[in-house]
């Protein structure tokens, strides 16, 4: 039986983003191992039934603890005769490729879930991350990118092969197969059937930029809407204070972490996503699957999913007035929302889990035949 080692930084990567890959690998007869900082005792992780290897990897490229992590990873690789390495995350990609090169394991697959150097990125990102990726691409047999911008950037690196596979896939039937009363869900949330629900899903961190959305809402005068934010994070206190300063307490609801996101999506009308940086956002794909028009930032990843004026609206992430205008247009035009809804449900099918798994199976099958 052939063995493959999947390397990442944190253990939740495996059940959040690697489940499809693991399923494909097992159908091909691989014994799947995972190396990461396994500090998450989660049932979803246990359900994957992979062989786990803990090492003390740190997210920061400046942490000296990664020297120890590199030695630990080399030891893991030497202790097992792996037939391939598939690495993820910036530091996972760095340590795994260096260790695999040192130990002599090939092929090495690296999935870039969003290069830290991108159009509009801070100069320090280009100075730190671009040279690292340029160097390590020499040790990369297959470099997988998940959006078009990164694919074009990757072709200028030195990997033997560059492939564009659009994300991890989304369960497009998760929403169409869901039997739920939209009206009952709204009652549960304390929202009337005539109120337009705006929805954002994501951590409350600066990168997600909920601030722009909240400020945009302050200019929606005399509109019957409510804005729901699903997620938790370090910026929650600041965002709550912002809501209070703008007198939006009756318009914004902080729902925290939710296990009923599909139901909330179906009960909603418009998805708002003003993030500063993404790879290929799953939350946007899920909102499309639920038939929501999207008002989002014009950034890498979002531009792969949304065509301006057709799937929703693309705006500069700091353009509060633009977000206000676009949201207002959708609030006031139910027919337009329905038209965009139908388009998004159809458009998102190309990003289905089945399509992504088929493409990953072709990659893994090619590796297995080597």
pLDDT digits (tens, 9 = 90+) for 152-196: 999 999 999 999 999 999 998 888 778 888 899 999 999 999 999
The pLDDT assigned to 295 comes to 98
At 113-146, the pLDDT tens digits run 999 999 888 999 999 899 999 999 999 999 999 9
pLDDT at 370: 59
The reported pLDDT for the residue numbered 367 is 74
Domain with CATH 3.40.50.2000 in the chain: 3-169+352-368, 173-350
Instruction: Report CA dihedral (272, 274, 278, 284) to the nearest 10 degrees.
Output: 10
Per-residue pLDDT, 173: 85
pLDDT at residue 356, rounded to an integer: 96
User: In b/e form, how buried is each residue of 312-345, taking b as 16+ CB within 10 angstroms?
Assistant: bbbbebebbebbbbbbbebbeeeeebeebbebbb
- What contacts 356, CB < 8 A, 6 or more positions away? 20, 165, 166, 167, 168, 169
pLDDT for residue 320:
97
Residue in the block written with tokens 């600066």? 206
**Would you identify the CATH topology of the domain 173-350?**
Rossmann fold (3.40.50)
Nearest to 128 by CA among 140, 115, 109, 141: 115
Sign of the four-CA dihedral 335, 337, 340, 344: negative
The partner residues of 143 in beta bridges, in order of sequence, read 110, 162
Q: What residue ranges of the chain have pLDDT lower than 70? A: 40, 368-370
The model's pTM is 0.89
Among 3.40.50.2000, 3.30.1360.10, 3.40.50.10480, 3.10.20.30, name the CATH number for the domain at 3-169+352-368. Answer: 3.40.50.2000
What pLDDT does residue 368 have? 59
pLDDT of residue 207: 94
pLDDT tens digits along 307-325:
999 999 999 999 999 999 9
Task: Write down the pLDDT at residue 305.
Answer: 97
Strand runs (DSSP E) across 64-209, as ranges? 84-88, 108-112, 142-145, 161-164, 196-201
């Amino acid at each position: 039986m052939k063995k493959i080692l999947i390397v990442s930084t944190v253990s939740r990567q495996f059940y959040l983003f690697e489940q499809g890959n693991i399923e494909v690998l097992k159908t091909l007869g691989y014994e799947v191992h995972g190396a990461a900082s396994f500090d998450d005792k989660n049932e979803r992780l246990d359900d994957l039934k992979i062989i786990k290897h803990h090492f003390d990897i740190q997210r920061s490229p400046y942490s000296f603890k990664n020297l120890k992590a590199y030695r630990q990873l080399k030891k893991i690789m030497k202790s097992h005769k792996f037939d391939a390495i598939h690495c993820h995350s910036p530091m996972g990609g760095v340590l795994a490729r260096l260790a695999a090169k040192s130990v002599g394991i090939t092929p090495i697959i690296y999935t870039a879930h969003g290069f830290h150097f991108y159009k509009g990125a801070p100069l320090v990102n280009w100075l730190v991350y671009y040279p690292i990726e340029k160097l390590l691409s020499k040790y990369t047999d297959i470099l997988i990118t998940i959006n078009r911008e990164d694919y074009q950037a990757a072709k200028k690196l030195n990997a033997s092969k560059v492939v564009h596979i659009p994300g991890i896939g989304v369960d497009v039937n998760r929403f169409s197969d869901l039997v739920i009363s939209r009206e009952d869900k709204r009652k549960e949330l304390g929202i009337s059937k005539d109120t337009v629900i705006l929805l954002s899903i994501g951590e409350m961190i600066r990168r997600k930029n909920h601030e722009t959305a909240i400020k945009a809402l302050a200019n929606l005068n005399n509109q019957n809407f409510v804005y729901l934010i699903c997620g938790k994070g370090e910026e929650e206190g600041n965002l709550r204070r912002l809501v209070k300063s703008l007198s939006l307490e009756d318009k914004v609801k902080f729902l925290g972490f939710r296990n009923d996101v599909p139901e909330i999506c179906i009960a909603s009308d418009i998805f708002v996503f003003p993030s500063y940086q993404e790879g290929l956002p799953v939350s946007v794909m899920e909102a499309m699957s639920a038939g929501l028009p999207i008002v989002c930032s014009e950034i890498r990843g979002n531009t792969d999913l949304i065509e301006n004026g057709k799937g929703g609206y693309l705006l500069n992430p700091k353009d509060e007035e633009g977000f206000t205008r676009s949201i207002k247009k959708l609030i006031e035009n139910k027919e337009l929302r329905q038209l965009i809804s139908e388009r998004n449900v159809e458009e998102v099918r190309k990003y289905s889990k089945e399509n992504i798994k088929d493409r990953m199976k072709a990659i893994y099958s090619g590796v297995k035949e080597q």
